[in-house]
Amino acid sequence: MFVPYRFCFLLCWLHLSPLYAASKQDDRVTYQTIDGFGVSQAFQRSAQMHGKFGLSPENQKKVLDLLFSNTGSEGAGLTILRNGIGSSTSSEKDFMKSIAPTSPGSPNATLKYEWDGKDESQVWLTQEAIAYGRLKTIYADAWSAPAYMKTNNNDSNGGSICGVSNAPCTTGDWRQAYANYLIQYLRFYQETGINITHLGFLNEPDLNQTYASMLSSGFQAADFLQILRPTLDASGFANVKIVCCEATGWDQQAAMLSELQSIPGASDTLSVIAAHGYASDPKLPYRAPQRVWQTEWADLNGRWNPSWDDLGKFGEGIGWANKIQQALTVSNCSAFLYWIGAETTSTNSALIKLDKDTVTVSARLWAFAHFSRFVEPGAKRVRAESDKGFVGVSAFVNGDGGVVVQVLNLGHVGLGVRIEILGIGRIILRWFLHTTQTLNASKPPLQSVDSPKNTASPPAPPSSSPTPSATFQSHDPATQARPLTGSSTNAAPPSSLSPSLCRTGRTSCPTQ
């Protein structure tokens, strides 16, 4: 049963007691910078979004809103899109077609480009996503080089780039050709008005698959990077950042990274270390100065499950909220991506399910929304602590000084919360409250309301502007209405700042 919105807001406010206070400067720590949250529509999932299987223009707009809008109550406001750079000879089925599908004969010959300006609707999707004004990271990643550049002469079934160590080919060394090829892809996008910000040349290089796949060790990746980086720099793409290596899991990427780091200069060419979550979950931070992204993970096997928190299944929203939060707070991630945003599927491979012209949203989308709508690209993670092991808390400071806090209650008991924000700033609070009842995830949980006005005078602002940090304290639900102790009772946001926002809604508020 659902609490009506108004009651829900009231309850949330009673739970909420922001405390502005000066505190010791040495408490203040900032951690990694956030790049954002996103999905991919590779393997023609962008074409599916564009109506390949009957999605009407009206519902195409709806799906775009759900993924990329952060206004109203409708969207997750994603800020990263991961496109696929094709390697196949055709666009049949869900192959991604190469921009140079036929061999020019030898590595030094000019590649024979074919470009239709659409790239299987990825150009359309990218332009539409950019139009929402939030997409800051356009990441293009190649699952494989074209067949003729590889040891196995096929873009599927593993194989390596001809010319990296231990991968000789009778046709010669194709590393420079592959670098040129990737740069031409950037140029084709530039012609459509899209600047790709990040480039990857591998996907799951530790796995031999019957679809586009290419194997690489960390040493072999280094052999290609020493050509790719200078070629980018010499071609007017010095500001395009290289992402590597998209291994199937955190540990697999760690192994590749240590090989890569053992080659002098190789890791300096990288801006982002990327790993997937499938084979091993994100764990301790990598020992490296680069940004860290979790670039692909999903529940690929579980039957479609739109619920927030029901039976503890892998596909449920709350589990993904926890994975995102852990990746950010424990594993030092600057970005977290689900595999697919929207596609025709019977599993939990996507956040949104398409079935001809029917659109079904999973609570996983709202798990992303709790982060992506509020934590802006460029935000810094700050210290956040909880006094309960089953309650996760994360906090971020946006570029405008706004503080965003997510509180995730993984215990199946209702809890009141008190959040103390140390330092000064506008507060945006996100709520992950939960009780044992099943929550309805078919409605967006995101609503906002201004906080009640508090007439008490604000505490004196600290003389300097320290970095905020957040402390979460649980409260017995029975005591929520009682005034909180200490100065928090009368605390109010300093009048010079925007009113606090308690953004909340159905799936994230306590039910009765």
Pick from 41, 69, 157, 248: which binds ligand NAG (CB under 6 A)? 157
Q: Which residue is listed with tokens 């290596």?
A: 245
| Residue 440 interacting with ligand NAG (CB under 6 A) | yes
| Residue 156 interacting with ligand NAG (CB under 6 A) | yes
From the list 321, 354, 266, 317, the residue with the least C-alpha distance to 441 is 317
| Residue 235 interacting with ligand NAG (CB under 6 A) | no
Binding string, 64-103, against ligand NAG, x = CB under 6 A?
Answer: ----------------------------------------
| Residue 170 interacting with ligand NAG (CB under 6 A) | no
CB of 397 to ligand NAG, least distance (A): 15
- Residue 289 in tokens: 């100065």
Residue number, nearest CB to ligand NAG: 285
Taking the C-alpha atoms of residue 174 and residue 178, their distance in angstroms, rounded to an integer, is: 6
Phi and psi angles of residue 295, each rounded to the nearest 5 degrees, phi first: -100, -10
Residue type, 57: P
| Residue 271 interacting with ligand NAG (CB under 6 A) | no
Binding string, 201-220, against ligand NAG, x = CB under 6 A?
Answer: -------x-x----x-----
Taking the C-alpha atoms of residue 128 and residue 341, their distance in angstroms, rounded to an integer, is: 14
SS (H, E, C) 437-455: CCCCCCCCCCECCECCCCC
| Residue 195 interacting with ligand NAG (CB under 6 A) | yes
CB of 32 to ligand NAG, least distance (A): 4
Which DSSP letter does residue 267 get?
Answer: G
| Residue 106 interacting with ligand NAG (CB under 6 A) | yes
| Residue 512 interacting with ligand NAG (CB under 6 A) | no
Q: How distant, in Å, are the alpha carbons of 210, 350, 402, 482 from that of 95?
A: 12, 18, 43, 61
CB of 334 to ligand NAG, least distance (A): 5
Applying the rule CB under 6 A, the residues between 456 and 485 that interact with ligand NAG are none
Give the residue with the Cβ less far from ligand NAG, 290 or 480: 290
If one counts every other C-beta atom within 10 angstroms of the C-beta of residue 277, the result is 22
Taking the C-alpha atoms of residue 352 and residue 368, their distance in angstroms, rounded to an integer, is: 12
Cβ pair 317, 308 in contact under 8 A: yes
| Residue 137 interacting with ligand NAG (CB under 6 A) | no
Binding string, 15-44, against ligand NAG, x = CB under 6 A?
Answer: -----------------x------------
Pick from 71, 108, 166, 360: which binds ligand NAG (CB under 6 A)? 108
Q: What is the dihedral of CA 256, 282, 69, 53, to 10 degrees?
A: 70
If one counts every other C-beta atom within 10 angstroms of the C-beta of residue 222, the result is 25
DSSP 3-state assignment of 255? helix
| Residue 291 interacting with ligand NAG (CB under 6 A) | yes
Binding footprint of ligand NAG on the chain (CB under 6 A): 32, 106-108, 154, 156-158, 172, 193, 195, 208, 210, 215, 285, 289, 291-292, 332, 334, 440, 442-443
